[in-house]
Amino acid sequence: MGAIAVALLLGACISGLRGDVDAARSLAIEYFEAIAGGAPDRGWSLILPDSLRAYRDQAQYIDLAEAADWEAFSWNLANDGHYCEDAGAFCVVRLEVASAAVPSFLLEAPRSAPDDLLRTIQMDDDPVSPGNAEVVVYFSINGERGILLGGG
């Protein structure tokens, strides 16, 4: 009986460190406000450390962010369709974006490769899901959280 209680407690502790849709939505908002709003690091600190390899370095990322036309890029969270998988490890936040105005480095990062596609925004034409794009937020067991660059 003691082993079951410990397992349940451990599971509760681990799951408490994972994310949920509200936390993922908040992080996505924080990221897009930082990158488009001129925050000093342009949201670099909100990208998962493993995903930073998509750029040569922070200076390249900031140069790309500063060169983008943020006046033309509009985004909103979709009203619905957000979800989390793997006990909250990966959360998908659905967006409505003006696809023609998405800065190209968000659709394919400079260090992306055919076998390792790195993108912040995944565009889609799924008629069932709200919005036309998504961003993935990752929550690790150790408490790390951030925007996950990936793709198909």
Render pLDDT for 119-139 as a digit per residue (tens, 0 to 9): 999 998 777 889 999 999 999
pLDDT score recorded for residue 8: 31
pLDDT score recorded for residue 12: 39
Q: Which residue has the higher pLDDT, 2 or 95?
A: 95
Taking only the tens place, the pLDDT of each residue in 3-35 is 433 333 334 344 454 889 999 999 999 999 999
Domain ranges of the chain: 2-148
* % of the chain at pLDDT higher than 70: 88
Q: Which residue has the higher pLDDT, 7 or 46?
A: 46
- The secondary structure of the chain, three-state, reads CHHHHHHHHHHHHHHHHCCCHHHHHHHHHHHHHHHHHCCCCCCHHHECHHHHHHCCCHHHHHHHHHHCCCCCCCEEECCCCCEEECCCCEEEEEEEECHHHCCHHHHCCCCCECCECCECCEECCCCCCCCCEEEEEEECCCCCEEEECECC
Q: Which residue has the higher pLDDT, 46 or 6?
A: 46
Q: How confident is the model at residue 99 (pLDDT cuts 50, 70, 90)?
A: confident
Task: Look over the chain and give the mean of its residue pLDDT values, rounded to a whole number.
Answer: 87
pTM confidence score: 0.85
- The topology (CATH level 3) of 2-148 is Nuclear Transport Factor 2; Chain: A, (3.10.450)
